[in-house]
Amino acid sequence: MTDTGHATVEDCDLAVIGTGPAGMAAAVAAAEFGLAVVAIDEQAAPGGQIYRNVLASPVAGTLGPDYRRGAELAAAFNTAQGISRRHDTTVSMITPEGEIVLRRDDGKIVLLRAQAVIIATGAMERPAPFPGWTLPGVMTAGSAQILLKAAAVVPADGVVLAGSGPLLYLVAVQLLDMGVCPGAIIETTPAANYRAAARHWFGALRGAATLLKGLGLITRLKIARVPMISGASGLVADAGSDGTLARLKFRRGAREYSVACRLLLVHQGVVPNTQISRALELPHDWDDAQRCWRPRLGAWGDTTLPGIYVAGDGGGIGGALAAEEQGRLAAFAVACNLGCIDKYERDRRAAVPRRALARHLAARPFLDALYRPGDEAVVPTDETVVCRCEEVTAAELRRGVAEGCLNPNHVKTYARPGMGPCQGRMCGLTVAEVIAAARGLPVAEVGHFHVRQPLKPMTLGEFAALADAMK
Ligand SMILES: Cc1cc2nc3c(=O)[nH]c(=O)nc-3n(C[C@H](O)[C@H](O)[C@H](O)COP(=O)(O)OP(=O)(O)OC[C@H]3O[C@@H](n4cnc5c(N)ncnc54)[C@H](O)[C@@H]3O)c2cc1C
């Protein structure tokens, strides 16, 4: 280790980015081979999205068995020998050679040089802009869950949930368990999705546990008499005289409805967080079933760059249990490539995780078809703000197309979407969908923003420290 006084340079065998189920399982499995592992996460503790704060959450007892299951994995991760755990630490930059710039919350910069990297950065909620989504009082269901898990903060009454996807029901049930009864759940799942999903029903039975969990959630909500209104479209969040959210308006068929609310939790499913795989310029494919991009991966999570792997939801949404198995498989591949085991041993160890993975993924085609967002959810109306950082509306994007912009990078220079602090993480998918719809092309042909590093803002002082460390 070299300490320049401003930044440090460190070496390790394996860097694992993200300590959700995929990252924790990968780090533990790799450390068992004697590899020097550095596990990095911007959160203060291991757990990722699903098991956020699982070892210390004041409400762990009420968040259900799926959440508590994570405590075992997190404890194994925290006690494993050979893992250097770096929390409150963000991966700001990365090179194809495995050089990673870490920015610690205390302002310290670390340049980590890893022989192998497993990217386990998970999922993010799909941004699905609609008129009024930027009003105070509108947030995503996932962010309400973060407040719940991290700080036991729950909303007062007057909560309405809207959108589509299993997390919508899960958050509603978790609120019920905390004594908050949602005023309504307004579902936007398109009617045609039920027919499309029915085709996958028999295959999904192999993953019956997942389906039963979903049914259990819906039953809980029905027993609690939470009004569930399906077939909704045309969501509009409307402000009262104080400028904050007052009501949600929506349509069902030709009729218009309005429901009063002080807090609106919206959700349209989750999509892979591809910021790091994009920054590495790995090939990505458009996944039409989930309407999102995913990095092109081999059977071990391997990418086109030697030594760089992707595990978990960052490679395609599969859920926490699948993420865990994918983390183990990637760790076995790294151990094999670094000479700890031969291919025979790698394949022998992989047999059980592979069977489990197939079981955990069995219900995915059914879920993907059922909760695939409709056009209306991902291609917003003209007046809707798409890029919150730069306040760019869908109309401005369409104007860009009319003026000759062909793809998100052209529109970026024309109207500045994706140029703000989030660097297009939030608006990237919507920008591509709007351009594709305007040009009458599949999103795959329109492409995605180039991701510029640093992935999250760094100060000039931090850049200077990094430059010193690299001398
Ligand atoms: C908001 C939200 C809530 C969810 N809640 C649930 C739930 O309650 N139940 C459920 O079954 N599924 C839930 N999911 C789906 C769930 O995230 C996944 O199925 C599962 O957690 C995937 O595990 P993973 O290890 O792939 O990634 P994750 O668990 O998402 O872990 C990824 C980790 O990477 C870290 N990370 C990302 N980028 C960086 C970076 N640049 N630098 C450092 N660290 C980084 C993140 O902080 C995170 O801890 C949720 C998803 C989201 C987006």
127-268 has which fold?
Answer: FAD/NAD(P)-binding domain (3.50.50)
The closest alpha carbon to 237, from 374, 134, 388, belongs to 134
Residue among 43, 49, 112 whose CB has most ligand 1 atoms within 8 A, to mutate? 49
The residue among 69 and 352 whose pLDDT is bigger is 352
Residues 190-228 pLDDT 10s: 999 999 999 998 888 887 888 899 999 999 999 999 999
* Average predicted confidence (pLDDT) for the chain: 94
The closest alpha carbon to 40, from 115, 143, 117, 95, belongs to 117
Is the pLDDT confidence value at 7 over 90?
no
Quick one: average pLDDT of 404-421?
93
Superfamily of domain covering 379-446: BFD-like [2Fe-2S]-binding domain (1.10.10.1100)
Is the pLDDT confidence value at 309 over 60?
yes
Give the other-Cβ count within 10 Å of 306's Cβ.
Answer: 11
Q: How far, in Å, from the CA of 415 to the mean position of ligand 1?
A: 31
pLDDT tier at 469, thresholds 50, 70, 90: confident
pLDDT tier at 467, thresholds 50, 70, 90: confident
Cα–Cα distance, 309 to 303 (Å, whole number): 6
Write down the domain spans for the chain.
2-124+271-341, 127-268, 379-446
pLDDT tier at 461, thresholds 50, 70, 90: confident
Non-local CB neighbours of 407 within 8 Å, separated by 6+ positions: 435, 446, 447
Q: For position 59, what pLDDT does the model report?
A: 83
Percent of the chain predicted with pLDDT > 90:
85
Domain 2-124+271-341, second-level architecture: 3-Layer(bba) Sandwich (3.50)
| Residues present in the chain in total | 471
Q: Which residues line ligand 1 (CB under 6 A)?
A: 17-23, 40-43, 48-50, 66, 90-91, 120-125, 142, 145, 167, 170, 270, 273, 312-314, 319-320, 323, 455
Quick one: average pLDDT of 454-467?
87
Contact 141, 266 (CB under 8 A): yes
Please check whether the two domains, 2-124+271-341 and 127-268, share a CATH topology.
yes
